[in-house]
Amino acid sequence: MTSLDEQRALVAQGCRVAAARGLVDGILGHLSLRVDDEHLLVRCRSDTDTGVAFTRPGDIRLLTLDGRAGAGGELDGYRVPNELPIHVETLLANPRHRAVAHLHPPAVVAADLAGIAIRPIYGAYDIPGAWLARGGVPVYERAVLIRTPALGKEMVAAMRGRPVVICRGHGITSAGATVQQAVLQAISLDALARMSLRVKGAGGTLRDIDDTDWDDLPDLGPSFTAEAAWRHEVARLPAD
């Protein structure tokens, strides 16, 4: 495969992982990967689309940052996502971000609507998730379809430089250096939301872990927190 073919396959795989984790349902949600200064790969929709869980490399199309076909035939039979500005504005705002996942995890949406802020309520249960929450998870408070550059810029401003943002009444945007990072962050955010809802549902009180615990919650390295974690997520996918 060419490098572009490999990148299409990775974005498609990321879509399927997100769906397998329940972070998207049906036909809503999309992932992207920036390939150079002028182009990105993004999941597009066709008239035969059967949903994010069934994304294949051919559904990942090469576009310019202004939404045009990035090469001949790239948009034949495919439509650009309405919310392409989510991806473009997030990528343009931070050069370290090369991948963007816009997903609709019900637990995160429900927790936010219930007034539950995502906080570091646990530690070694999920160390990357704990650190993600410690840095803060901002909220974009408009429940709109983010289909214009102006709205995309509003969402990015609400993101405040953090890697994830909750879009109230809508979903989340997760940005990372890789597709794997963007999706794994979303999985951790969803786990925090689910645990928060369970604790509150059991009548408990959400409390941050003790400050003294952070020194013993080390970065276990990418071979564990990213590579091994991603192998697991791929292994969980239904067989073709």
Show the tokens assigned to 222.
Answer: 């990418």
Alpha-carbon distance of 181 to 152, in angstroms, equals 21
Give, for 99, the enclosing helix (H) or strand (E).
strand 99-103
Number of H helices, E strands in the chain: 8, 9
Alpha-carbon distance of 73 to 177, in angstroms, equals 28
Alpha-carbon distance of 100 to 74, in angstroms, equals 20
Name the residues annotated as catalytic.
83
Cβ neighbours of residue 70 under 8 Å, at least 6 residues apart? 38, 39, 40, 61, 62, 63, 64
- φ, ψ at 42 (rounded to 5°): -145, 150
Among 171, 154, 165, which Cα is nearest to 28's? 171
Tokens 């969980």 appear where?
Answer: 236
DSSP character at residue 56: -
The interaxial angle of helices 84-93 and 149-159, nearest 10 deg, is 50
